[in-house]
Amino acid sequence: MFTVINAGRALVFYRRSARIHFIALASLLAGVTAFSQPPGEEIVVFDGTNLDGFVFDGEANWHLAGDVVEATEGNGYLVVKDPYADFILTLEFWVASSVNSGVYLRCPAPDEHGGRICYEVQIHDYRPNQIYRTGGIVRHRSPAEHVNSVGQWNSYEIRAEGEHITVTLNGIVTAEIENDDYICEQPCAHRSDGYIALQYNDDSGGVLKFRNVRIQPL
């Protein structure tokens, strides 16, 4: 009888231990699954069919022209509707020599942009201050290599992940920063998320075009 009772207790203990181990294993697997989730699906912001992925701010005359969105006068922004934190942004652009443009990252609001409150990835080969010409990040990093972009189609891949931002222009890494590795004499962005905006600024009628704007959330 004594042996039977102990055997029963042992069986109960074994079952309880097995159940606890099963729960622990399931929790561990769930945690591993959560941490190994792949990045979100790529979001097509603009594919040439409509401008529904943007909101407009300013006076630029953004309009569809075939499979591209272009502007030829004014000063304004195409702002991606939703804010993003970590992402890979890819796009193609064609720019005239007179146009001052840029890709603004992590802006605080759809109607708040500028190199002092957002990260500005420059599009302007003939910028008076060549320190931050095309491929650079204004007030943060000069381009490591001068890549001419005027009068041709170019590609940008901009990766923003935590405090790290990498700019790749036509397959060449032109700028890379960490939030804490630069000296900035004016107020600069230190935001971990925000809005993305495409700029047009030209009083002489220069053409700026964008196509294939896509975002891969990380």
One DSSP character per residue, 62-81 reads: -EEETTEEEE-SEEEEEEES
pLDDT in tens, 63-108: 999 999 999 999 999 999 999 999 999 999 999 999 999 999 999 9
Please give the torsion angle defined by the CA atoms of residues 152, 157, 158 and 161, in that order, rounded to the nearest 10 degrees: 180
The pLDDT of residue 40 is 80
Pick the range with the lowest mean pLDDT from 19-28, 61-70, 159-168: 19-28
Which pLDDT band holds residue 11 (cuts at 50, 70, 90)? very low
Largest CA distance in the chain: 101
**Whole-number percent of the chain with pLDDT over 90:** 70
The DSSP 8-state label assigned to residue 131 in this structure reads G
Q: Give the whole-angstrom CA distance, residue 59 versus residue 200.
A: 9
Choose between 5 and 136: higher pLDDT: 136
Q: What is the pTM of this model?
A: 0.80
Domain 43-217 has what CATH class? Answer: mainly beta
